[in-house]
Structure 1
Amino acid sequence: MAYGDPGRPADEISAAMLEALFTRSPVALHLLDPDLRVVRLSTAATGMRETSPDELAGRPVRDVYRMVEDNDLETALREVLETGAPLWQRLVRACVRAEPPEERCFEATAMRLEGADGQVLGLAVTALDVTERERGRARARVLDAVRRRVGRTLDPVVTGEELVEALVPEFADIAVVEVVDSVVRGDEPPPAPLPPGTPLMRTAFRSGRTHPPQAHPVGDVRRLPGPTPFTQALTDLRPRVVPLRPRAPWMPADPPRADAMHSSDSHTLLVVPLALRDAALGLVSLYRTDKSPPFDAGDRRLAVELAAHAALCVDNARRFIREHTVAATVHRQLLPRRPESHASLETAYLSLTGADPGAWYDTIALSGGRTALVVGDVSGWGLNAAATMGQLRTVLRSLSAFDLSADELLARLHDTAAQLAFERANLPLGDPLRREALTADCVYAVHDPLTGTCVAAAAGDLAPVVIRPDHTVDVPDVPAGPPLGMAEDAPFATVEFEVPAGSVLVFTSDPRVTAHLADSSRALRSAPDYADRPLQELCDAVVYALPKDLAAGDAAVIVARTRSLPPDAFACWRLDHDSAAVGTARALAGEQLGAWGVDDETAYNTQLIVSELVTNAVLYGDPPLELRLIHDRTLTCEVSDAGRAAPHLRHARSADEGGRGLFIAARLAQAWGVRYTATGKTVWTEQSVTDAP
């Protein structure tokens, strides 16, 4: 059924409609003959082409439309002619004749035209200009790519590299990122306007060309000459779209950049400041070259959004660098700068990367020529981990002064860590530290050069690697106790293993490093001068032996080589459990001190100490009694007995006949203490050594 004026024939109405489509419709309409030559164009089509219809009539479609890329449109149109199946909304890119030539996007639809007898007359092709729509989609893709790919690491340099990779070639032909040099180091960004002469580091550069020209290499730190669009953007923190043709009057102020722009055939510059809270972090410079369209207002709005995201990522990286710098400084100050000197143990410290502020190492001189070796790791990162590490290291050093056994010391340290964890769990609800559990792994081992053994206990799965003089490698089965600070209150246990003189022990805070060294420690044991190699070389060998894919983190490492005390550096005697033992002990001590060449005053004081300690052992201890003198970095006097009674220092009254023995020994010695063993106890004193002239 036909609607309209019944007095007018349908053919007349159809012709009027067709004329309206060709003359007034905003959709470009094209009629093509079977040879794909132009028969007629609508005014919308000729307007887009800026060419008269008569000029284009009769020309092949491939001559009329200069395709930007080969999308095989002509083949698709021939398929429509052959099959009759319409072509719907095919996206094509064509270059419009303008000054300069402009690239546009069109959505093409083609339908076959047939006569009354079924003869193929040609094609009707519509082309809808969707340039702005496609540009909007492209901008959305760029924005999505930047949000997904930029800021995945806390490194301002890598952030710049991620940004230029996301922008070239999708949004710009050349992209450059420059960051204020102090921001790269973690300092606060300067407020705008940026002071003249502020140095910027070029952190990233990317171009679509194979060998693009650059004004300055990546990593270069320079001050921006001015005035230029770059300095102006850092002054008012506003983006700028700057035409580069013809040569701008500001270019002589920065010849290297001007030459690079000219060499790359750049025609438009979009410079956007990296700014956050009115502070200048750097610049993003984007260029379009050759046939790319100039930047427009939409591009500028998008660039501002991209730069805002990048600036936030750079500032996050800056804050991380700042916190890491502070934490590393605290960590460095809390750790021993160099190993302590031990006659029976040569040690060296090593941090694989130094990036974990919770890892620590320590060596502690103990009585009797023994040395404690400690390696641990506190959970978490940053300043809080470094502070907790410092607390635990201080407590451990204090506990070691009491000569506790390794398992008992870790039990006391576990109590301290549990208290710190309790305090952290009771922080205010808004404190993010409250949500971080406090745990720590630690191995504590005591080396005794007189027995050639090492006693170790561990909180967590930590154990040393032992390389003996015969080049055999072993990992002692150290019982793994609960991590420090855990609610679990399982007991700690010790293991004793032999370490002959010349053995090397490697303690690490990461079990993966330990396991790898135990499996492939050829670098530590294969050299013929293994027993005498400098420990620094052994530390380097540890680093070289670790594969890159081990993901060992930031382990702290102690490399120690054991040495035995010279036979003439110590003396040991068994004493009878009677009063005559006191005189015998004095005589034996005096003779040995004379053989060592100890000065008279020290020898006299030592004999007095021996008398008092042996007297106490005879009166209050149980047999057997043993006296031992060690001439090492200090002069150590030890008296052992089988009694378990704890001696304590008394302040006797003037009328008392006794009770001053331990008091006298404590006054004459620099340090004294009591060490309990499985068979009893040992009371010891230490004095500084002064050899007789």
Structure 2
Amino acid sequence: MEPPRKGFDASTSVEPHDLLDASTDAAAVISADGVVVGWTRGAEALLGRPAPGVVGQPAARLLAVPEDPARAAGIAERCRAGMGWNGLVPVRHRDGRRIEIDLRVSAAFRMGGQECFLLSAREQRPQWTVGQSVLDGFLTRAPVGMAVMDLELRYIWLNDTLERFGGVPREQRLGHRLSELLPGLQAETLEGLMRKVLATGEPVTDYEYSGWSWADPHRQHAYSTSFFPLVDAEGTTTAVCYMVLDVTERWTARRILSLVNEAGTRIGTTLDVLETAQELADFAVPRFADFVAVDLLEPVLSTEGHGAWLTDAGPAPARPSMRRAGLQSVREGVPEAVVRIGEEVYFLPPPSDVNLLISGEPVLIPVLDPSDALWATEQPERAARIREFGVHSLISVPMRARNTALGLTTFARSLNTVPFGPDDVLLAQELVARAAVCVDNARRYTREHTAAVTLQRSLLPHALTGGTAVEVASSYLPADPTGGVGGDWFDVIPLSGARVGLVVGDVVGHGIGAAASMGRLRTAVQTLADMEMPPDELLAHLDDLVLRLSDEETERAPADRSTSTFTGATCLYAVYDPVSRRCSMARAGHPPPVIVTPDGHAYYPEIPAGPPLGLGGMAFEAAEIELAENSLLGLFTDGLIEGSDGDVESGMARLCEALARTEADLGTLCTSAVQQLMSEPQPDDIALLLARSHTLAADQVASWDVPADPAAVGHVRAAATRQVMDWGFPEQAITTELIVSELVTNAIRYADSPIRLRLLRDARLTCEVADASSTAPRLRHARSTDEGGRGLFLVAQLALRWGARYTAEGKIIWAEQEIP
């Protein structure tokens, strides 16, 4: 053990300021003869000496001073008396360092018949003491504002930092209350918090508020304040202290983030360029500015092109043409504006040029001087408005998105006396950047939607005519722009024999792809209808076409991800014959037509549903019904009957009610029916095709049975000529005679009986020869040495159109002539 130091009395107890803890401090057990018999890990950590190198060795080797046997004996006697000892002892660390330890020796005890002493120690580190001058300097010059208020909430002390925050000298504050000095700094609220602290004794921490100060009256600051009571030795509250920290930067960053987040929910709610621009102006006033104008470049507002100079790589005109798209002000009627919404504008803040829009940085004019020469020269009318309404600060931010220049947004302040600063420029950039992406999205969508609508309308029939067979009217409404253009289509196809084909279809999907697919299907239906196919066969061929298109687009999809796969369509095809008043129809997954009888009874005929086009492997069935004259046939797409509730059966019932009304004008009935069923925009296209059936009168049809005898050709030829003359068409008599002669002769020579000739007087003069053979006629070009083979060639030259169609009994060869 360390010997007693000079001047130390071993008989005097020294009480430690902090009790040692043998469970956590360094500890050792030493025998009465000074040998270490126990060494803890704490002792090993304190001196860096492991137990094997210490146990069994004299403890005096650990001391950093010479051994003092007399002092050690005195300590031992004191501990044997049960009193213990503690004091500071210098020891040597394993690395040679000298360290001071606070050592405590316990009362003597016996262990294994041997007298021992328990020692516990910890390193003694120097304590730092604060002088009064240091403490005064700390309180006075701390970067946190501090003040002490008496029980009447009057200033009795404050430091230099708080004096700078408020801009009020210390002499004017002492003895006065906060509400008397800074009434605009939420003084009453702050004093209320101080009264609460005095009443409860509980501190209030981190209360944030914003306001202005005399030190910086043109900028709003934010402060974080904490209050706590000051108590004396008896525990009596004598004053309240408050500490103030300027958190303007943190508050500004949080405000910017909050406004930008809110702008994300308020700007870009629609895919409309003008509405998005107006949403930006509405959001910024009065949150950020007193006046906002959003000006967009002409190509951005155009739906016909991208604009030749919208990217950085393109050349820009010296004077870009823009139009005002958004405008808002704190003053009613926006009197500050020189240009109104929709009008052309060429504004760029002086001295900026067109490069500001393409690659320039935001323009900040903290203090706007309308008398400046540039404003007076370049913007004289705006300079006058600036003076009139006291506009004193301005920020102009170019609107760009995806390397595309879109326009310019200008923010101005007039009633708000605080000028714009660098932080405001950051906020303006964030707001404009968020709006720019929405404007660009709306621009792209509008252009694509317009292209899809234009494509679809160009593919739909521009004028419908049903000849004398039917009176037709149609109504088409594109889908709500948010849903995209669909693939609905309808058509009226004139057929031979005064017949007419009625078709309505719906392609799955939306957009340009659906519109293009619709055009392909409509063309295919027209081609197949011209081949005189019955409805069920036409749908079968159309189904094969859709399957082939789907396979082609599926193979192309990996290479061209922009191509949407053709997934299918529905279709209804009907053929009406005004002579027999029979209507044959078939459908492929499409709703059945609605039929309204002349007496106003509306119903849906039983027609086999058939699978949608594109499934393949399933047959289509046709149904035939007889229509009374002036019956109404309505073909429609599912968008008309689905409605907002999605109840198809209810929609079909409403359609029956809408069409059952007595309405002389078919177009008016069609329009009113769509308006009655569609009270709000729908996510799908709507198509309605109405056809009112008519019948050919008996005097418009003439027919003869033809015997299978070549001599009969002359008789029917003469009869047909007389009939054409009786109808008042002498110019067509000779042509009709030749056509009848050739067609009847071919039927007698090459076809089977029965043979029948029929003349129809409709919009055109039609000659039909029916036989029982299914052999297809073939147009030949006979050589000069051939004696025959020119019959059909002659018919093709004389007739406006000719062709053949097949029936259950055989075929019909027909030829049409134009009637003057």
TM-score category of the 2 structures, normalised to the smaller one: 0.7 to 0.9
Does structure 1 residue 604 correspond to structure 2 residue 727? no
Q: Show the 5 A alignment for 1:474-485.
A: 474-484=603-613
Q: What is the one-letter code of the residue matched to 1:304?
A: Q
Counterpart contact for 1:512–1:552, Cα < 8 Å = no
- CA pair 117-572 structure 1, distance change in 2 beyond 3 A: farther
Counterpart contact for 1:482–1:489, Cα < 8 Å = no
Other-structure match for 1:199: 321
Q: What is the one-letter code of the residue matched to 2:364?
A: V
For the residues of structure 2 that align with 1:542 and 1:379, how far apart are their CA atoms?
A: 24
Q: Show the 5 A alignment for 1:507-522.
A: 507-513=635-641, 516=651, 518-520=653-655
Does structure 1 residue 549 correspond to structure 2 residue 683? no
Does structure 1 residue 272 correspond to structure 2 residue 397? yes
Q: Secondary structure at the match of 1:137?
A: helix
Other-structure match for 1:87: 204
Give the deviation of 1:211 after TM superposition: 5.3
Does structure 1 residue 418 correspond to structure 2 residue 547? yes
- CA pair 66-373 structure 1, distance change in 2 beyond 3 A: farther
Taking CA–CA contacts closer than 8 Å with sequence separation of 6 or more, which of the two structures ends up with the larger relative contact order?
A: 1
Does structure 1 residue 399 correspond to structure 2 residue 521? no
For the residues of structure 1 that align with 2:789 and 2:635, how far apart are their CA atoms?
A: 45
Other-structure match for 1:322: 447
Other-structure match for 2:628: 500
Other-structure match for 1:570: 701
Counterpart contact for 1:335–1:362, Cα < 8 Å = yes
- CA pair 246-61 structure 1, distance change in 2 beyond 3 A: same
| TM-score (normalised: structure 2) | 0.74
Counterpart contact for 1:114–1:121, Cα < 8 Å = yes
For the residues of structure 2 that align with 1:78 and 1:678, how far apart are their CA atoms?
A: 105
Give the deviation of 1:92 after TM superposition: 0.9
- CA pair 118-386 structure 1, distance change in 2 beyond 3 A: same
For the residues of structure 2 that align with 1:518 and 1:578, how far apart are their CA atoms?
A: 57
Counterpart contact for 1:462–1:478, Cα < 8 Å = no
Q: 1:67-110: per-residue Cα shift (whole Å, max 9, x none)?
A: 56799444443333322332221211121114644321111222
Q: Secondary structure at the match of 1:388?
A: helix
Q: What is the one-letter code of the residue matched to 2:622?
A: T
Counterpart contact for 1:635–1:688, Cα < 8 Å = yes
Does structure 1 residue 180 correspond to structure 2 residue 292? no
Counterpart contact for 1:66–1:94, Cα < 8 Å = no
Give the deviation of 1:25 after TM superposition: 1.1
Q: What is the one-letter code of the residue matched to 2:379?
A: D
Q: What is the one-letter code of the residue matched to 1:238?
A: E
Q: Secondary structure at the match of 1:426?
A: helix
Does structure 1 residue 106 correspond to structure 2 residue 234? no
Other-structure match for 1:672: 802
Identity %: 36
For the residues of structure 1 that align with 2:621 and 2:191, how far apart are their CA atoms?
A: 83
For the residues of structure 1 that align with 2:769 and 2:806, how far apart are their CA atoms?
A: 12
Counterpart contact for 2:476–2:688, Cα < 8 Å = yes
- CA pair 21-101 structure 1, distance change in 2 beyond 3 A: farther
Counterpart contact for 1:345–1:560, Cα < 8 Å = yes
Counterpart contact for 2:295–2:323, Cα < 8 Å = yes
For the residues of structure 1 that align with 2:187 and 2:327, how far apart are their CA atoms?
A: 30
For the residues of structure 2 that align with 1:18 and 1:196, how far apart are their CA atoms?
A: 67
For the residues of structure 1 that align with 2:598 and 2:795, how far apart are their CA atoms?
A: 41
Q: Secondary structure at the match of 2:522?
A: helix
Q: Secondary structure at the match of 2:472?
A: strand
Question: Which one has the largest radius of gyration?
Answer: 2
Give the deviation of 1:119 after TM superposition: 2.7
Give the deviation of 1:630 after TM superposition: 0.8
Counterpart contact for 2:327–2:341, Cα < 8 Å = no
Query: Alpha carbon RMSD of aligned pairs, Å?
Result: 3.7
Counterpart contact for 2:487–2:685, Cα < 8 Å = no
- CA pair 296-367 structure 1, distance change in 2 beyond 3 A: same
Q: Secondary structure at the match of 1:628?
A: strand
Q: What is the one-letter code of the residue matched to 2:472?
A: T
- CA pair 428-376 structure 1, distance change in 2 beyond 3 A: closer
Counterpart contact for 1:213–1:263, Cα < 8 Å = no
Q: Show the 5 A alignment for 1:104-503.
A: 104-147=221-264, 149-186=266-303, 187-189=305-307, 190=309, 195-208=317-330, 212-216=334-338, 219-224=341-346, 228=350, 233-234=356-357, 237-249=360-372, 250-252=374-376, 253-255=378-380, 257-258=382-383, 260-262=385-387, 265-275=390-400, 280-291=405-416, 293-340=418-465, 342-353=467-478, 356=485, 358-427=487-556, 429-484=558-613, 486-503=614-631
Counterpart contact for 1:475–1:518, Cα < 8 Å = no
Counterpart contact for 2:508–2:568, Cα < 8 Å = yes
Counterpart contact for 2:572–2:586, Cα < 8 Å = yes
Give the deviation of 1:248 after TM superposition: 4.5
Give the deviation of 1:548 after TM superposition: 3.7
For the residues of structure 1 that align with 2:394 and 2:264, how far apart are their CA atoms?
A: 23
For the residues of structure 2 that align with 1:501 and 1:348, how far apart are their CA atoms?
A: 17
For the residues of structure 2 that align with 1:255 and 1:220, how far apart are their CA atoms?
A: 21
Counterpart contact for 1:29–1:45, Cα < 8 Å = yes
Q: What is the one-letter code of the residue matched to 1:243?
A: P
Counterpart contact for 2:300–2:306, Cα < 8 Å = yes
Counterpart contact for 1:380–1:436, Cα < 8 Å = no
Q: What is the one-letter code of the residue matched to 1:178?
A: D
Q: 1:497-534: per-residue Cα shift (whole Å, max 9, x none)?
A: 4443333444334443486475056665545xx13x1x
In the alignment, structure 2 segments of 5+ residues that lack a partner are 1-16, 19-123, 643-647
Give 1:595's match in structure 2, choosing from 726, 729, 735: 726
For the residues of structure 2 that align with 1:325 and 1:254, how far apart are their CA atoms?
A: 37
Counterpart contact for 1:473–1:518, Cα < 8 Å = no
Q: What is the one-letter code of the residue matched to 2:337?
A: A
Q: Secondary structure at the match of 2:584?
A: strand
Q: Secondary structure at the match of 1:538?
A: helix
For the residues of structure 2 that align with 1:153 and 1:317, how far apart are their CA atoms?
A: 8
For the residues of structure 2 that align with 1:255 and 1:575, how far apart are their CA atoms?
A: 94
Give 1:96's match in structure 2, choosing from 196, 208, 213: 213
Other-structure match for 2:766: 636
- CA pair 461-159 structure 1, distance change in 2 beyond 3 A: same
Q: 1:136-166: per-residue Cα shift (whole Å, max 9, x none)?
A: 1122223334455544543321221333344
Q: Secondary structure at the match of 1:433?
A: coil
Counterpart contact for 1:468–1:502, Cα < 8 Å = yes
Q: What is the one-letter code of the residue matched to 1:350?
A: S
Other-structure match for 1:62: 179
Q: Secondary structure at the match of 2:293?
A: strand
Give the deviation of 1:264 after TM superposition: 5.4
Q: Secondary structure at the match of 1:369?
A: coil
Residues matched between the structures, number: 680
Counterpart contact for 2:271–2:441, Cα < 8 Å = yes
Give the deviation of 1:357 after TM superposition: 6.8
Q: 1:649-677: per-residue Cα shift (whole Å, max 9, x none)?
A: 46678998876655554454332222223
Q: Show the 5 A alignment for 1:15-26.
A: 19-26=136-143
For the residues of structure 2 that align with 1:440 and 1:570, how far apart are their CA atoms?
A: 39
Q: What is the one-letter code of the residue matched to 1:336?
A: P
Q: Secondary structure at the match of 1:431?
A: coil
